[in-house]
Chains A and B, each alone.
Chain A
Amino acid sequence: METEAKGRLDILYGEIGALARFVENAMRAVSEVGRPLMESSAQIPTVASHLTDLVRMTEDGVMEVMRLTELIQDSRAAVMGECRAVVESLRESRHVTLVGRVERVIADLNEDERRLTEIMTALSFQDLVAQRVKKLVVILEDVREKLVKLVVEFGIQHNENGGTTEGKTKEILRQLEQSENSAMKQHAADEILTRFGFQ
């Protein structure tokens, strides 16, 4: 009886020893992964900084295009004023043909004015890009925080659903995905507005 119990204890000790070696090896493996993880996470602020620079650079570029567009709009407004004055003078002196030609110039200037406004509104892409980039920067910061925590704790946190992204990152990724796949266009917004009594 005693011999049998001692035999079982020996087996148990053997299994505990094997388990301890496994845990030690696993800890060593995790600690070896820790260094590259730390190195990678140390790069994240640089990536975030580059992304923030991109926002600033596109904003600077767009502002310069806007400045020049507005200068053109202002000088065109002045030219239009002069043309209208010329038309009035020509009418008074009954230069019908010249009146027609200057009026065509005014019509062309008007058409270009519309195009310049379209250029201005097209530049709103910068705002949309900047919003996406800001969300990416938040994700990167969150990932870095989690990596550092992972390395410090030497263990991988699992959520119950088997997912690997949680909290802020998951929410922002969901928002980005939603805005990509189901973003409402103006006509869809107008339909909802109409349903709520907006005429």
Chain B
Amino acid sequence: MAADLTMKVLVVDDMATMRRIVKNILKQLGFSQVEEAENGAEALQKLRAGTYGLVVSDWNMPVMTGIDMLRAIRSDEKLKAIPVLMVTAEAQQGNLIEAIQAGVSNYIVKPFTAETMQEKLGKIFK
């Protein structure tokens, strides 16, 4: 994986358990700066205030969903180049196609393994 491991990563999920799991895996993969947000709106605030190299986001969240956040990121000049990896239980083909059309960088279906996360990050940062 050719990713810059010092980049800031934002993990977006309304469930604290999932945020912790994703953070743990990212830490195992060598990422040292991992921050959290509970929904898309909070994530956008953080993204606009800082410099992030990657967003790992859930789909179903209160306040602002992952897909709405993805669309907001892609339509924001400052943020649109940030890779967004969706990690979600939304396992219908329609959801995946909607995410692709919105500009997702890659897509992981829950439940997933650390190997899957590593593989997808490898593809994003190849």
Contacts and interface: CB of A to CB of B under 8 A. Distances in A.
Given A70-B24, A117-B114, A198-B123, A192 B109 contact: no
B1 interface: no
A127 B114 contact: no
B113 A121 contact: yes
B124 to A, nearest CB: 10
Interface string B17-30: 11011001100100
A117 B96 contact: no
A158 interface: no
Contacts of B126: 199
B93 interface: yes
B110 A117 contact: no
B123 A189 contact: no
Contacts of B15: 59, 126-127, 130
A131 B89 contact: yes
Interface stretch (A31-39, A160-168, A176-184): A176-184
A108 interface: no
| Residue of A120, A127, A196 with most chain B CB atoms under a 10 A cut-off | A127
B65 interface: no
B63 to A, nearest CB: 15
A66 interface: yes
A195 B100 CA distance: 11
Interface in B48-99: 60, 89, 91-93, 96-97
Nearest to A62: B17
Given A184-B96, A192-B93, A196-B100, A121 B18 contact: no
Contacts of B18: 124, 127
Given A179-B89, A184-B91, A192-B96, 20 more contacts: A59-B15, A63-B17, A63-B20, A73-B24, A117-B25, A118-B114, A120-B24, A120-B114, A121-B111, A121-B112, A121-B113, A121-B114, A124-B112, A126-B17, A127-B15, A127-B89, A128-B111, A182-B92, A185-B91, A185-B109
Interface of B: 13, 15-18, 20-21, 24-25, 28, 60, 89, 91-93, 96-97, 100, 106-114, 116, 123, 126
